[in-house]
Structure formats: C-alpha cells, structure tokens
A and B are shown apart, each in its own frame.
Chain A
C-alpha cells in the first residue's frame, strides 16, 4: 500500500505530536518524523503543514539566527494546538481500532475492492 497516501490524512496530527514536547524548526521536525519511522515523509509537505497549522492558530513561531548559516524558523505548539492534538489523537485511536478490527475480521477472506453503490430510486432523498 502507498503509505504516502495514508500519510496525507494524518500528517497534521503527526507534526503536532512531533513538537508537542519540544519546539522544532522545519528540518528538525522532518528528522523526528523519520526517526519515528515515517521514512517517506516529504520535506516540503512537513514545512507546508507547519505553515498551515501556524495559520490555523495551532502553533507559535519564532526565528532564531544562526552563527554558522541561515536563520532557522522554529515552531512550538500552543494551547489550541494541544487541544487539536488531543481531538485528533482520539479520532485516530477510534479510527485505528475500527480499521484494525475490520482488517482482523476480514483477514481470512479477500477484501472486496469494488462495493457497488446502492441503487438510488427516483424521489429518494
């Protein structure tokens, strides 16, 4: 399975989790995600996600000058980000449980790929 597709849906919560204990700059966050096992995460996807979470008010941001290179932009989680992380953690847990149960129950039979949509009759809402 293409994990980059799965990653898209959970990148927000993954990034929030990566900086919940310690502030980090862009590549720092990428490193943490890869260290946690998300090898296929793209640099630019992480930076864009940080940018979007910041715009949504979930993160704080500050620039740290560097003595030996270009300045770094650090991101930290704030109260709104913590609340968002809590919600998404619960959603993920419920979803993962559901999926795990579903996949475990169907593990003996081949999963149906194409489930036909129910026929909609005229006048039906």
Chain B
C-alpha cells in the first residue's frame, strides 16, 4: 500500500509534461483541465498492465480538444501571435495610464499642464536640432549668427511645430523617427542644459570683464606692436640709466606693465621674472621702472613669489644710452655698447 500522498515520479513527470503542452492557455484553465490528473493517471497505471502512459503532448491535445479549447498553435504562429500582441503594447500602456489617471485626479492636472507645455518642447527641440546642424556644418567652435543660420533655425522651428501638431507626417516610419529623436533629446537634455549653463556663465564672465580689460581678453598689459613689453628702461638726457622711474598715462593712471596689477610676477625674459616695485604704497608697483627680477626658482608651484626671494636689478640693454644733443659731457661722446637683448 502506498503511503505517500505524492504521485509516483513517472506520473508526476507525465503530468508536468501535459501542463507544459498546455502552457499557451491561461493558468486557471490549465489548473481546471489538469486538476486531479495525477490521481487519474495513478489509477490508470494500477488498473492496467501498461507500464507507460504514452505521449503527454498527444494526451494534452486530446484533453483540450475534448474540452472544446483551441488547439495549440504552431511555434511560428505563436511567435507571430506574440509579436502581434506587442503591437497592442502602446494601447495597453495607454489604457493602464488612463486607469491610473482615473484613480488619481492629480495625474490629470499634471497631464494638462504638460500638454500646455508642448509648444515649448517643440521650440526647444527646434533650437537643439538647429544648434546641432549649425555646429556640424560650420567649421570651428564658433556658431555664427548670420542670415543662413537664422533661416535654418526658422525652417527647423516650423517643421518641429508642424510635427508636434501631427502635420507633415504622411508615413508611419516618420513617426518612428520622430519618436527616436524625441527620446534622444529627452535623454540628452541634462547635458544640453549643462553646456548651455557653461556657455551663459562664460558670456556673463566676458561681459563682466569687458569694461576693465578691453575687448582683447588675452592682453597682459603694455604692448608694443601687439607684443607684450616685459620691462622699460629709462635713460636721462646724458644717457645715464635711471632707476625707480614712475610712469603715468595721459589720464594720470599708473602705466602698469600688467593689466591685472594683482598678479605676483610677470615674464621677464631669460634672466627670470619681473616683480612689482615694493616701495609703492597702497598698490603693487607695476608702473615703477625698471622692474626688478627674481630667479625662476623663487616662484612657487602655486604661482606666488617666495617672500624671501632675492630681488636683482634687471639687466640693462645698454650701460649708457647716447646722450641727447646739447647734453654731451666733456669727454668724448660714448658709443652705446649694446648687450644682448633679452629675448622676449
């Protein structure tokens, strides 16, 4: 006498194979069709001499046919049916959204708000696509605002708005492409926003510094023929070098060598860096010439001059200059002795 409440392994295996062959049906239908199946199979095995139960798939087909259920579709047909089901996925998702929206009134209000925002999305989409077109078609980093680019922008805007209104989309694949573009744009919006923020901040920075630095943001101060002046050497009428000469411009402003007087040092040629005169009270003495030098090793890694740095007078281009007419001394007029000019 069997004491186990479980079916024999052969019966359990056959029953599960039958259920697998019915797997295209709903779970409740499978349960109803095969409830008690193990008991019937066990009885059949004990009732007859047959040691095997036969083909479970044929058994399942007989079961479902007698129950008036449709035959199991062929694998290809099942696949086609599943693909066909996928086509309904958007409708099913939309229906689920509607159901959710019906249960939660705020969904409807948010939806109305987003629908009201749709034109803004169309314009944003057009702006991004226009920027992409101009960036791709124009060389370099600049995005010039000219007639052609404005025309491109307007054309893209019109197309974007018409697409948004469901116009100008005669082919189904165009809707698919539009959907892909929208998805890509939505996903890339954070990066676009970051880039725009950087650009706007840069624009503000440039605008804020336009007044004191002039249009040429790369200017480092005094220029001669567009090249920076690294030091100035003054000689008196007799040709003798002068020290600590304070220079001012026509407005009485200090003629600073550096445009930003707060920088600690400037480029001084081969012999080192120029540093402002430290005898000027209240501000860096960038207008007192010739500027002294410090050795390159006196500049720290963070861009400051060591407090203990030893200042050395800049090397003169001439020991003496040619005296002016009428200022010759009693001795013979000295010939200027050029020293190697420091390479700027």
- Give the interface of A toward B (CB within 8 A): 11, 25-28, 30-31, 42-49, 51-52, 54-55, 63, 66-73
Known: A27-B43, A48-B63. 13 other contacts (CB 8 A): A11-B66, A26-B36, A27-B40, A27-B41, A31-B47, A44-B66, A47-B67, A68-B2, A68-B3, A68-B4, A69-B4, A70-B11, A70-B38
- Contact between chains at B5 and A68 (CB < 8 Å): yes
- Contact between chains at A69 and B5 (CB < 8 Å): yes
- Contact between chains at A48 and B39 (CB < 8 Å): no
Can you list the 6 inter-chain pairs with the closest CB atoms, starting with the nearest? A48-B66, A73-B36, A70-B38, A44-B62, A48-B67, A27-B43
Q: Could you give 29 example pairs across A and B, Cβ below 8 Å?
A: A25-B39, A26-B39, A30-B44, A42-B62, A44-B60, A44-B62, A47-B37, A47-B40, A47-B67, A48-B67, A48-B68, A48-B69, A49-B66, A51-B66, A51-B67, A52-B67, A55-B67, A66-B5, A66-B39, A67-B5, A68-B4, A69-B5, A69-B38, A69-B39, A70-B5, A72-B36, A72-B39, A73-B35, A73-B36
The listed residue (B1, B33, B36, B65) touching A63 by CB distance below 8 A is B36
Please indicate the chain A residues that have their CB under 8 angstroms from the CB of B7 in the complex: 69-70
- Contact between chains at A69 and B63 (CB < 8 Å): no
Q: Contacts A25-B36, A51-B67: A70 and B62 contacting too (C-beta < 8 A)? A: no
State the majority secondary structure of interface residues on A.
helix
Distance, CA A63 to CA B6, complexed state (A): 16
- Contact between chains at A48 and B62 (CB < 8 Å): yes
Chain B residues within 8 Å of chain A by Cβ, number:
31
Distance, CA A71 to CA B66, complexed state (A): 22
Distance, CA A51 to CA B66, complexed state (A): 8
- Contact between chains at A51 and B32 (CB < 8 Å): yes
Distance, CA A71 to CA B34, complexed state (A): 12
Distance, CA A67 to CA B5, complexed state (A): 6
Please indicate the chain B residues that have their CB under 8 angstroms from the CB of A67 in the complex: 5
* Residue B59 interfacial (CB < 8 Å): yes
Please indicate the chain A residues that have their CB under 8 angstroms from the CB of B69 in the complex: 48
